[in-house]
Every structure is written in C-alpha cells, then in structure tokens.
Amino acid sequence: MTRHHKLLTLNLFLLTFVLGTSEFVIVGLLTEVAADFQIDISTAGVLVSAFALSFAIGTPILTALFSRFAKYPLMLTLIAIFIAGNIATALSESYTLLLVSRIITAVVTGVLIALAMVVASETMPAEKRGAVIAIVFAGFTVASVIGVPIGTSIGQWGGWQMAFGFTAMLGAISLIFSWATLPKGLKGTRSSLKNQIGLLAHPRIVIAFFIPAFSIAATYTVYTYLTPLLQVVLGVPKRYISLVFLLYGAVSIFSTLIGGKLAARDGISKLRYVFLIQAVILASLYVSSNSLVGGMVSISFIALVLYAMNSTMQLYFIDLADRHFPAARDLASSLTPVSVNVGIAVGSALGGWVTTNMRLIDISWSGGIVAIAASLLAVVSYRLDQQRQDGQKVFVN
C-alpha cells in the first residue's frame, strides 16, 4: 500500500475508535446514570437499547439518502454533528434529554461507520480489502481496550457527564485527521431510494442480516449488564470495574485478529462452528460464576469470540450487493454495523427482561440460546452459497 493508503487506514481506524468509545462507554456507567436520575438499572439500560435501535433504523435510511453526496464533505459534516451530540449528552440535565441526545448520536454514528467501510473498500487495493476492513473494525476493539476503560474511569471519578466531554474531544481530533486524509474524489452514487431499499428485501440479504444480529445479541444479553453482574454475582469491588472492561477489551483484540483470518479463508463456512462455541462459552458463565476466577475466565472467552464474524460479514454483504444490487454498495456496507446494533438492542432488551423477571446470572444461558440461532442461520446461508456454486458448475458444463 502507498503512504496515503496507510494514513487513510489509520484515520478510519481512529474514527471507529472514537465512535466505539462514545457508543460503548455508557455500559460502564449505567450504575452512575441510574443513581444520578434516581431510576432503576433496567431503565438506565434502555439507553443502550435506544442507541442501538436508533442506529439500526436510521442508518440504512440515511445511508441510502446520502449515497448521492460526495464522501469528503458528508463525512466531515457528520463528524461535526457527532461532536455536538456528545456535548449535548454531557450537558443533559434530565433522562429525557440524555435519551434524545443519544438517539441523535446513534444515527450519525451508524452513517459514519457505513461511509468508513465504503471508503476502505473503494480506495484500497483488492488484495488488501479484507485486512484493511479488519483494521477499521479493530477501532471498536481498541475502543473497548482503551477508550471505554478510560471513559469509565473518568465517569466514575468526575461524573458520567465528563466521560462524554471526553468523547467529544476525541471527536474533534478525528475531525482534524479526517479533514487531512479523507480522499476528496469519492463521488456519490445516483440511485433511487426505492432501488437501494430493495436490497433489504432480498432473501439472501435478510438471512445474512440476522447472522451477526443474533451473535451480538447473544453477547449483549450479558455485556449490557456486565457491571451489575461483576458487582452482585462475582463480588468485584467498584474500583476494579474499569480494569475488567480493560481485560475484556484486550482479549477482544484477538477476536478481531481471528476475524481477519476467517475472512481470508471462506469465513462464512466457519462461522457456524464459531457461534456454537460462543453458545457454550456464554452458558458456561452460569456455572463458572460460582468463583471469581472461573467467572473472569468465561468473560474473557466471551470477548474472544465477540468480533470473529465482523470482517467476513462485511465482505459478504458487499459481495451480495455486487451480485444482486450493484447500485446499493453504500447501503450494503452499512448492514454489518446495522445488524450489530439490532443485536445490541435485542440483547440488551433480553438482558433487561431476564434481570427483571429472573435471576441476574440467567442472562448467561439466555445468551447461549441466541448464539445457537446465529449458528443455524450461518448453516442456511452457507448451504445456499454451495447450491449456487453447484448450479454455476452445472451451467458451465
């Protein structure tokens, strides 16, 4: 790759790091938010579900609408709105204002992630696409390792509002880097909204969409309520919570590396087994939570499979779009993060229902059941690919 390719990759990595920190830091601060607004923990957890749901609904619509615009000015404008959204969150004096600011930030975040993936896939050499997309996704991993623990520590030390002042500052840094490195020649694609949205109704896209959604939902059934689980079930003191999130993020780095390897080696055929392993790991927390060490081991393995499907699914959606809806590449690039956020919304909602109606530790095996559903869909998608390939061979012969 050229020097500019490397700088651009670094910038896209920084952008997803900033976006990931802003999205996920709230998980480590739910207890503080609940105490500040005098609400229960499941109501505070709605902030996670609402962000993810807004992301999932708003991203495909706005991505399709904005696809006609040049990428450079569009991304700079959206980053500026992202900064304003985080400032509004930091200044929120009521739960309602906090919720609204998070919804606005969610929609902008989704479109920015989709555009970052488009820029990566359209500007990089073909042989480097998978690796670069894995690096861009790694921004979310490093956000878990560095951004979220730092933001959580800042929020616990100076108030949760200060954590979002921190993410606004990170957004400003990303804006400067993006102004300097984003390519100015990437033009939009002229296509009607109807033609693009048609992509979402294609059976292959629908099946593929719910693969990452169920996988992430399985994890977020547990992850959304990781802080109370650590404190109530495992007995981890409050001052060590940010260190646990640091451990979780550090282990998830290897998940990103695994994801890059899978994407380069017919990843869709292997994901069905990855999700079964994920189900076993999640369910194991039910037993291992009887000891601090055992519980931490299970949590570490949950992080290890977290991002294993990202690169494979991102390239898979783009390839499906190239095959069936070439004019909807931008929209296809948004589907992995949209699916992930549908999963976050479903998982956090399921986790909230479980914590309200069952025991807190029951989120473990509940998540495991959802991971099995992801595996079944991966099997279906893989078999459809095989049938298509067999049909092409018959046609050629």
Residue 363 sits in a domain of what CATH number? 1.20.1250.20
Q: Is the pLDDT of residue 339 over 60?
A: yes
Where do the DSSP E strands lie in 61-165?
none
DSSP string, 355-389: HHHS-GGGHHHHHHHHHHHHHHHHHHHHHHHHHHH
Q: Which of 182-186, 197-201, 245-249 has the lowest mean pLDDT?
A: 197-201
- Confidence band for 280, pLDDT divided at 50, 70 and 90: very high
DSSP string, 34-77: HHHHT--HHHHHHHHHHHHHHHHHHHHHHHHHHTTS-HHHHHHH
What residue type is 65 in one-letter code?
A: L
> Would you state the pLDDT for residue 332?
77
CA–CA distances in Å: residue 40 to residues 30, 34, 45, 219: 10, 6, 9, 22
- Domain, as residue range, for 340: 3-396
Q: What is the mean pLDDT of residues 315-343?
A: 76
Q: Is the pLDDT of residue 271 over 60?
A: yes
> Would you state the pLDDT for residue 105?
93
Q: What is the mean pLDDT of residues 310-328?
A: 75
Q: What is the mean pLDDT of residues 59-73?
A: 80
> Would you state the pLDDT for residue 19?
92
Q: Is the pLDDT of residue 120 over 90?
A: no
Percent of the chain with pLDDT over 90: 21
Q: Evaluate whether 350 touches 221 at the Cβ level (below 8 Å).
A: yes
- Confidence band for 281, pLDDT divided at 50, 70 and 90: very high
**Is 0.75 surpassed by the pTM of this model?**
no
Please write the tens of the pLDDT for every residue from 188-246. Answer: 565 555 666 677 777 888 888 899 899 999 999 988 888 888 888 888 888 888 788 77
> Would you state the pLDDT for residue 130?
65
The token pair that represents 171 in the structure block: 């957004």
- Confidence band for 263, pLDDT divided at 50, 70 and 90: low
Q: What is the mean pLDDT of residues 110-114?
A: 87
Which residue's entry shows tokens 């989709």? 114
Q: Is the pLDDT of residue 393 over 60?
A: no
Q: What is the mean pLDDT of residues 73-77?
A: 91
Counting the structural domains of the chain, the total is 1
- Map residue 184 onto helix, strand or coil: coil
SS3 readout for 269-334: HHHHHHHHHHHHHHHHHHHHCCCHHHHHHHHHHHHHCCCCCHHHHHHHHHHHHHHHCHHHHHHHHH
Q: What is the mean pLDDT of residues 313-329?
A: 75
